Structure 1
Amino acid sequence: MEVSLKSLAEFLFQRRCLKEIKAPNLDSLSQNVSNICIDSRHVQRGALFCCLDGTKRRGIEFAHDAEQNGAIAVLATERIENLNIPQLIVTNARDACGYASAYFNGLPASRLLLIGVTGTNGKSTTTYLIKSILDAGEMRCGLIGTIIYYDGEKEEEAERTTPQAPLIQNLLSRMVKNCCHACVMEASSHGIEQGRIVGCFYDRAIFTNLTPEHLDYHGDMDKYFAAKKKLLEKYMRGGWKVSTNVDDVYGKMIQETFEPYALSFSIRQRKKGRFYGSIVSSSLEGIVMDIVLPDGITLANVVLPLIGEHNAYNALAACSTAWSLNFSPDVIRRGLETCPPVPGRLERYFIEDGSICVIDYAHTPDALEKALSTIRPLCGGKLWLVFGHGGDRFRENRPLLGSVAASLADHIVVTMDNPRSEDPGEIALQIVEGIKSSSRDPDYKIIIDRKEAVHFALDHARANDVVLITGKGPERQIIFKDHVVAYSDFDALKEWCDSRGKKFL
């Protein structure tokens, strides 16, 4: 689709984003835009450069670099001196970037059923479950989330949970071209707060739960909740619905605030008109659960290839959303039971010597407690835990993580996560403070090198022991202050198996 700078500016004016245009001459507005960029290093001839402020520097500082690299115009909230290309002066650069990206890509959100999943934990698994149900119902579905971006034809490794607006709109456009009818997307609090989803309007939303995370960014839980709630206040359309977990205090608040639009689900309380789930049996192979629909129909003995009560909640979230879209109970069951493994979400590997390795993304105290509590009663031997915590993240969580680990694990190996600008040794010591505060006094060891830590636990685990490795999940690198190292927990496990002559069962 060819988009002229003039038509794009007119669209921004219609969206009440555009304040003025500063241009060398009228002819300069007739040029076609080739791309929307927010990084001056990626600008090529014909691009519109959006001046978005970062945490340390302002976007307008890079406007001249963008011009030199071939930008035909910039989008900014103020006039920039000594610039020889048109300037679209807008009220809010992030909102305008989102709308510009949507217009440039042909307004793809208007041609898709959009489902947004928000909350602290469970977003990725819930998106996989929803996609699996839609696939079972022969509705082609794209996916944008923490683990992958899928455009209906190919997968690519995700850079962040909710990408920047130009990439979101490009992905949605590719989904339309690839004959997708729907997209399920994780909506992070950062993504919502920073306007990355501007240009998207959702038909369905899911609120999974809310526990302390990203408080270094949001400040407190009230502001964190307000960011999540903004998805429902600002980005929904038409006869929208939100599925919410009423066993979570914040999920209950969502139900009360958005009562006419809310579909509630619970494991704790069975109530007429509510989705209700109960776990029949559980093992390291998966869970069997009953699901009662609001119309009274029961999906009995659904065999879910996932483990843990929290995944029963995720199944209810996916089920309620699909039910509201008129998918049949048989399709819902088939989608839940055939959901593919979710990378880094209690991902299980059975080793021929009898031990089991589980890789999980859990990196908050609440998520770690859920992972450990899930595995503890299913573990026939000792429970080993290998974990750390990310640098430049909410430090108050570190002793809490240690305390949770000490309360449920038998052997703990504290290691690095993504240390970023911090000393991984110091992070480990802050975690150990929480371990030492526990009355349970488990065995623990600090091994900073993550691969070495994983190998140590696997070497010492015995038959029926479980080695749980948390914090990174499917991530494929470790981030330091000034460099990045290739690494994945699965690769560390695979290397250990190969070097010890072990095989997966």
Structure 2
Amino acid sequence: MNLLDKHLSELIAPFHLTCEVNPSITGIATDSREVTKGCLYICVRGYTVDGHQYAEEAVANGAVAILAEEPIDGVEVPVVLLQDTKHAAGKVADLFYDHPSHKLKVYGITGTNGKTTTTKLTYDLFRAAGQKAGMISTIGAMIDGEMIDTPNTTPEAIILHRLLYQMVEQGVTDCVLEVSSHALMEGRVEGVKFHAAAFTNLTHDHLDYHASMEEYAQAKALVFKQVATSGGQAVILNEADPKSRVMEKAAEGVPVIWYATKALSEAPITVEWKEETVSVRIDGTVTEVPVFLLGDFNAANLAAAIGLMQAGNVNMYQLIRHIPELRLPKGRLEQIPFEGCEVYIDYAHTPDGLEKCLKALSVPGEPLYMVLSAAGERDRSKRAVMGRIAGQYCEGIIVTVHDPRREQPQQIIKELLVEIPPRKIITCHESRKEALQIAAKVALTGKRMVIVGKGHERFEQIGTEHVPFDEVKILTDELIRLSGQETAM
């Protein structure tokens, strides 16, 4: 017998529902293609797909019961009706997987920029402290050093609880979870018990999804409310960001650990960046250590990670000696290893993220060049702003697109160009690959180059398809080809 077997009645009991037929449930799924014999199929309405339309396929694949928001005709399995299956899925998954988040400590990290970096720094620090740790983030899931791919910044609820269950089974004690505003609004972390959560910052992004910055802040605040309602021990907040007060209010009654990046701050945790070192102050004790992290903004990410470690009751002073070992995640100010040129890639796709990236790479007397892009069918209001920022920091700009989806690339480029001084535009290309090839050519002339937008991702969203697209390989191949031609000459 599968240890996870439950009966349908157990899984719907929290919703005060009953069933006349009570089959044994051996699995749960929201994707009909993942249904196997004995599964409970949960019909969820997505942006482009309605799971109710695939109920018959799910039954044909072995589903023995269905949770839905409307009656399903033509199936011979019990159908239980709920008002909101998307949010119910997390609670059902929590029950099915025997409350995994109660058996380890889960640390949530949210904010506009810095989530992925803070998540990885926290995970690496936990491992350095000797803890068996897990991580779930944009760059994938890690279980004590083993990488597992995930489809979203925060996986959908069933996958998330399954990963937490897998971590418990493998002896993980601390899991660091990157939490996006979309995930919070769509119930992907429903049923998760948070030990603590950290807030990085709130800047212009996702206004295609949220009606205003205030609504965006309230979406982020949901995780701090969940910390409070699930018995969490602490929230870690950025003293420099005024929206931290929104998060503090949402976590009413939960102790706050404040962090900052200025030496004069009264926050109990400060990390001040000094280019090749950071000055770390924890409760009045100051230590200066070497660091391989670029920029003041990464000092803030490190400070947030230290706050989470403090919430995890790790010996902070022993931990400081591991800071020099820390590295940024893939695609975050990542330098492409190629002799004879200086090329970086970064995930920056918001005005604030872009400015922090360019500021970190700015060197007096050494002009910076870049590939600037924006995604299709996403917040259009930030495109001109990003163009203006690029023009402020860069001497030359190659303008292109990434993930156009169903939007016309020329429209995206047009909106990026609005505030870029014409003299700084090297070229515009609807083809990102061609833009990267030109960037490689420019870099080989001795120009410092940064390419933003995709970072670690290895695919492009063109139309409704996910098309393989390895930016690092394209760049490296072109650098090899061009430098080879130059050598032959």
Structure 2 length-normalised TM: 0.93
**Equivalent residue for 1:298, pick from 269, 286, 291:** 286
8 Å Cα contact 2:12/2:18 also seen in 1: no
| Deviation of 1:449 (Å) | 1.9
| Deviation of 1:185 (Å) | 0.5
**Equivalent residue for 1:315, pick from 285, 298, 302:** 302
Local SS of the residue matching 1:417: coil
Question: What is the match of residue 71 of structure 1?
Answer: 63
Q: 1:273 to 1:401 in 2, by over 3 A?
A: closer
8 Å Cα contact 1:380/1:465 also seen in 2: no
8 Å Cα contact 2:260/2:267 also seen in 1: no
Cα separation, 1, equivalents of 2:455 and 2:269 = 30
| Deviation of 1:344 (Å) | 0.4
Cα separation, 1, equivalents of 2:322 and 2:86 = 37
Aligned residue identity for 2:455: G
Is 1:443 matched with 2:435? no
Structure 1 length-normalised TM: 0.90
Cα separation, 1, equivalents of 2:326 and 2:178 = 17
8 Å Cα contact 2:239/2:258 also seen in 1: yes
Q: How many equivalent pairs are there?
A: 481
**Equivalent residue for 1:288, pick from 240, 256, 277:** 277
| Deviation of 1:380 (Å) | 5.2
Question: What is the match of residue 371 of structure 1?
Answer: 357
Local SS of the residue matching 1:202: coil
- Cα deviation, 1:383-417, whole Å, max 9, x if unaligned, reads 11112111110111111111111111111001121
8 Å Cα contact 1:380/1:464 also seen in 2: no
8 Å Cα contact 2:221/2:246 also seen in 1: no
Cα separation, 1, equivalents of 2:466 and 2:50 = 25
| Deviation of 1:323 (Å) | 2.2
Cα separation, 2, equivalents of 1:268 and 1:192 = 31
- For structure 1, the residue ranges without an aligned partner over 5 or more in a row are none
Question: What is the match of residue 264 of structure 1?
Answer: 258
8 Å Cα contact 2:218/2:246 also seen in 1: no
Aligned residue identity for 2:440: L
Is 1:53 matched with 2:39? no
**Equivalent residue for 2:110, pick from 118, 129, 143:** 118
Local SS of the residue matching 1:222: helix
Question: What is the match of residue 200 of structure 1?
Answer: 192
Question: What is the match of residue 10 of structure 1?
Answer: 10
**Equivalent residue for 2:383, pick from 398, 406, 422:** 398
| Deviation of 1:239 (Å) | 4.7
**Equivalent residue for 1:431, pick from 416, 421, 439:** 416
Aligned residue identity for 2:17: K
Q: 1:44 to 1:326 in 2, by over 3 A?
A: closer
Is 1:332 matched with 2:291? no
- For structure 2, the residue ranges without an aligned partner over 5 or more in a row are 485-489
Local SS of the residue matching 2:218: helix
Local SS of the residue matching 1:494: helix
Question: Which deviates the most, 344-353 or 225-234?
Answer: 344-353
Is 1:360 matched with 2:346? yes
Aligned residue identity for 2:27: N
Q: 1:44 to 1:139 in 2, by over 3 A?
A: same
Question: What is the match of residue 476 of structure 2?
Answer: 494
Q: 1:104 to 1:303 in 2, by over 3 A?
A: same
8 Å Cα contact 1:118/1:228 also seen in 2: yes
Cα separation, 1, equivalents of 2:28 and 2:378 = 30
Local SS of the residue matching 1:305: coil
- Cα deviation, 1:143-184, whole Å, max 9, x if unaligned, reads 100011113362123321001011101111111121111110
Is 1:455 matched with 2:437? yes
Local SS of the residue matching 1:238: coil
Cα separation, 1, equivalents of 2:479 and 2:280 = 39
Question: What is the match of residue 407 of structure 2?
Answer: 422
Cα separation, 1, equivalents of 2:250 and 2:446 = 47
| Deviation of 1:499 (Å) | 1.6
| Deviation of 1:382 (Å) | 2.2
Aligned residue identity for 1:374: A
Cα separation, 2, equivalents of 1:138 and 1:380 = 44
Question: What is the match of residue 102 of structure 1?
Answer: 94
Question: Which deviates the most, 220-229 or 254-263?
Answer: 254-263
Local SS of the residue matching 1:219: coil
8 Å Cα contact 2:117/2:328 also seen in 1: no
**Equivalent residue for 2:237, pick from 236, 241, 244:** 244
8 Å Cα contact 1:209/1:250 also seen in 2: yes
Local SS of the residue matching 2:135: strand
| Deviation of 1:358 (Å) | 0.8
Question: What is the match of residue 487 of structure 2?
Answer: none
RMSD, aligned CA: 2.1
Question: Which deviates the most, 223-232 or 316-325?
Answer: 316-325
Q: 1:108 to 1:5 in 2, by over 3 A?
A: closer
**Equivalent residue for 1:88, pick from 80, 100, 105:** 80
Cα separation, 2, equivalents of 1:175 and 1:164 = 17
8 Å Cα contact 1:276/1:316 also seen in 2: yes
Question: What is the match of residue 480 of structure 1?
Answer: 462
Aligned residue identity for 1:491: K
Is 1:165 matched with 2:157? yes
Cα separation, 1, equivalents of 2:214 and 2:391 = 29
Cα separation, 2, equivalents of 1:101 and 1:253 = 29
**Equivalent residue for 2:17, pick from 16, 19, 32:** 19
Cα separation, 1, equivalents of 2:245 and 2:87 = 30
**Equivalent residue for 1:138, pick from 121, 130, 133:** 130
| Deviation of 1:463 (Å) | 6.7
Cα separation, 1, equivalents of 2:81 and 2:466 = 37
Question: What is the match of residue 467 of structure 1?
Answer: 449
| Deviation of 1:478 (Å) | 1.3
8 Å Cα contact 1:37/1:43 also seen in 2: yes
Question: Which deviates the most, 355-364 or 86-95?
Answer: 86-95
